[in-house]
Amino acid sequence: MEFPKIVTTPPGPRAQEIIEREKRVISSGLGVKLFPLVPERGYGALVEDVDGNVFIDFLAGAAAASTGYSHPELVKEVQEQVKKIQHSMIGYTYSKRAIEVAEILAEKAPISEPRILFGMSGSDALDLTMMAARFSTRKPWIVAFIGAYHGQTYGATSIAAFQSSQKMGLSPLIPNVVWVPYPNPYKNPWGINGYDEPEELTNRFLDYLESYIFAHVLPPDETAVLIAEPIQGDAGIVVPPENFFAELKKLLEEYGILLAMDEVQTGIGRTGKWFATEWFGVEPDLIAFGKGVASGMGLSGVIGRRELLENLTSGSALLTPAANPVVSAAAYATLRVIKRENLLENALRVGRFIKKRLSEMKEEYEVIGDVRGKGLMIGAEIVNPDGRPDPELTGKICWRAFELGLILPSYGMFGNVIRITPPLVITEELAEKGLEIMERALKDALAGKVTGRTITWH
């Protein structure tokens, strides 16, 4: 098949008509529309829009379509299941399909003999995480990171610190949450170059947590949990020092504080391991998952140490459609495809290739300030000559890429990180083509040839 294929400059007439219709019925609260894209169908890592344009997809519906689109195995499992029984409430009866998914996740997770809760989206998985942590410790305080995106239920909004605008007009939020800076090696409040001195960055953070936060802001003995993304996603794909979480865990244990990992974006193969936590050699107490586990079809949950989840009050985490048979079938197919097609290895191999090409581009173009990531979760930070974020140029690069047939989103706390999170099935050939388009878009943007720009969070 030909890819990418632009038959009419996007958004074409059909896309424009649908976008107009949306404005009349759907609330603006629904999202930040990065592109005027209306997908009609997809195959592998390609998306075809309603006008017949075919795009290479570096977005994967927000890092969720892990097996890509219309994977035959997923289609078959889901079709067969929906024909048999489409709903059976796991809160009231037993579901073979949900149990088989839980068994696989329990085997893969870096927590021994865990127990599992199910939800529908990453956001409610974070609510469940908070509930489990508070219930099991009976302590009120929660520590989270600046830049973290945890979702948009009331609970998740209350712990997130991605964009303050997402909390506007919603208070009072859940109290007793304190945020600390993430140990971003590229730029951090301590002015440490964390690539040259990773251990120094870890130490400085731990000292800050103890000497400032625990000593002056919240009583550590009354703190239930610290919640962290192992690699910050929406904040701009930020990878902390390798020893960070192991050292952090040691400190938290001294105070009896749990460590919960938000693996909604990083989990289920995204970084080339089942869970990104594995990169950091640490066993957390709780792990939230979502997005990619059912290739984006609406399954999430929490994996936790047995003692923490075993004695939750019956019915305190009850969500009617959670892990229904159809999404469980999708998750089962997803997990099987990841294993059978060696998608962890593919993520590592194609990810390495992408990072290498981006690093070469970084040498050539001063505007690329940093390239980072693991597996197929890669970020390229776009900066102006004095090193400050350049969201304007970033938006232009992404817009031009879109016109040329590449879905290339920008994210980051300051809207200046090009984010590459394609389906895990992407081939090197497709990735290479995508990067060629990105380079051309970058050249055009630098030459002042691009008039539009994509929307970004910032």
* Contacting positions for ligand PMP (CB under 6 A): 62, 121-123, 126, 149-151, 229, 233-234, 262, 264-265, 290-291
- Comparing CB distances to ligand PMP, the nearer of 4 and 61 is 61
Amino acid (one-letter) located at 88 = S
- Comparing CB distances to ligand PMP, the nearer of 121 and 188 is 121
Q: Answer yes or no: are the C-beta atoms of 388 and 406 closer than 8 Å.
A: no
- Comparing CB distances to ligand PMP, the nearer of 291 and 400 is 291
Three-state DSSP state, 157:
helix
Distances (CA, A) of 293 to 124, 204, 213, 269, 353: 15, 35, 35, 9, 24
CA distance 123 to 264: 9
Reported as type and span, the H/E element at residue 20 is helix 13-25
- Comparing CB distances to ligand PMP, the nearer of 187 and 291 is 291
CA distance 402 to 170: 34
- Comparing CB distances to ligand PMP, the nearer of 117 and 445 is 117
Least distance in Å: CB of 14 to ligand PMP? Answer: 27
Least distance in Å: CB of 350 to ligand PMP? Answer: 21
CA distance 271 to 379: 12
- The partner residues of 56 in beta bridges, in order of sequence, read 46, 406
Reported as type and span, the H/E element at residue 134 is helix 122-137
Least distance in Å: CB of 93 to ligand PMP? Answer: 26
Least distance in Å: CB of 234 to ligand PMP? Answer: 5
Least distance in Å: CB of 72 to ligand PMP? Answer: 25
- Comparing CB distances to ligand PMP, the nearer of 119 and 272 is 119
- Comparing CB distances to ligand PMP, the nearer of 50 and 231 is 231
Reported as type and span, the H/E element at residue 248 is helix 244-255
Least distance in Å: CB of 330 to ligand PMP? Answer: 14
In the chain the first and final C-alpha atoms are separated, in Å, by 36
Least distance in Å: CB of 300 to ligand PMP? Answer: 6
What would the DSSP string read from start to end of 346-385?
A: HHHHHHHHHHHHHHHHHHH-TTEEEEEEETTEEEEEEB-T
- Comparing CB distances to ligand PMP, the nearer of 136 and 266 is 266
The torsion region of residue 165 among left (phi > 0), alpha (psi -120 to 50) and beta comes to alpha
Cα-to-chain-centroid distance, residue 254 = 30
Least distance in Å: CB of 388 to ligand PMP? Answer: 25
